[in-house]
Amino acid sequence: MDDFRTLQNAFEGVQQLLLENESERERVIAERNASFATQVKEVVQATVESEILGVHEYIKMLKNSITTLRAMVNQQATLINRYKKKLAQYKMESLPLNVAIVNSINQLVSSLQRYQLLSKKNMATLIAKAVFDPNLCDGLALEEVINHSKLWLRRNVFKPSKILKQMDLRDGILNYEEICV
């Protein structure tokens, strides 16, 4: 007990031992904390890296999906355009013949600059000549065109009420020149 002669010396010795133990304990705790922090850092880093790789693979998959979907959209757009053309063709094929003929003549007359330069009277005369041409459809429609023309004349020009009106106005005398359309 030479070292601890007095109580004060004993207290100082105990306090110094406690400080040494405390510093030793703090050093051990600091080493454990550093070791724990290193382990946590490694685990977190490994987890983050695996998550990043997973996200990277997911992004690649999404890019491939987008590329596939774009190709499908382009293919569908091409098919839609093709079906629109077919539908327009079917509509043209399903028209009655008289409507198709009128559409063809209208398209022909409006398409060429040469025909657009014709006066309306000359164009009407040429269309009428074409309708009454015996070579139109190998003469198949000529009789029907004439019958239709006669019917139109009967209904519109030689209408009985118009003829009677003209006879009354001319005192019973009537010839073809006096019949007005």
Residues contacting 134, CB < 8 A, separation 6+: 142
Is the distance from CB of 156 to CB of 181 less than 8 angstroms? yes
How many whole angstroms separate alpha carbon 82 and alpha carbon 89?
A: 11
How many whole angstroms separate alpha carbon 30 and alpha carbon 47?
A: 25
How many whole angstroms separate alpha carbon 155 and alpha carbon 88?
A: 37
Residue ranges of domains in the chain: 1-94, 95-131, 138-181
pLDDT value of position 3: 52
Closest CA to 157 of 177, 141, 143, 172: 177
Residue-wise pLDDT for 157-177, tens only, equals: 777 777 777 777 777 676 665
Residue-wise pLDDT for 77-91, tens only, equals: 999 999 998 888 777
How many whole angstroms separate alpha carbon 181 and alpha carbon 178?
A: 10
Look at the pTM and tell me if it is higher than 0.85.
no
